[in-house]
Amino acid sequence: MPLKDSQAFTSLAASDINRAKTFYTKTLGLEYVAELAENTILLRTSAGSQILIYEREQSKAEHTVVGFMVQDFETSMTSLNSAGVNFEVYEGLTDENGIADFGEMKGAWFVDTEGNIISLTSAR
């Protein structure tokens, strides 16, 4: 079966699987699906995207490891801010609120409890 007909998912490392589970389910609102193996969980968005999180010692990715495409960028940012998410400010890329404006697209980034860089994106 060609990969073009398959669903894709992302895998994220977490040094504390329970802390990560709490952040992704309580703060971001993802659905907990199952524990697939010891210290490995599967989460899902209501749109069907899946994130596998596995426990391992801290690793450091210096790039975006997963992105969420949202319909209403401002409302999503406000909601995440209210939940305690702090958006990163990158000199030369974002404004003082952590928003990058690319014309037809807006973006913002935050770091999860495990040090993974997550993006929020909206196309106009």
Give the Cα-Cα-Cα angle 64, 10, 87 (nearest 5 degrees).
Answer: 35
Token duo for residue 41: 């969980």
Give the Cα-Cα-Cα angle 112, 107, 113 (nearest 5 degrees).
Answer: 5
For residue range 23-80, what is the model confidence (pLDDT) as tens digits? Answer: 999 999 999 999 999 999 999 999 889 999 999 987 778 899 999 999 999 999 999 9
Token duo for residue 56: 């391992």
Q: How far apart are CA 32 and CA 60, in angstroms?
A: 24
Q: What does pTM read for this prediction?
A: 0.90
Could you tell me which residues are beta bridge partners of residue 94? Answer: none
Mean pLDDT across 75-95: 96
Domain ranges of the chain: 6-123
**pLDDT at position 105:** 95
**pLDDT at position 4:** 84
CATH architecture, range 6-123: Roll (3.10)
Q: How far apart are CA 41 and CA 64, in angstroms?
A: 20
The confidence band for 1, taking pLDDT boundaries of 50, 70 and 90, is low
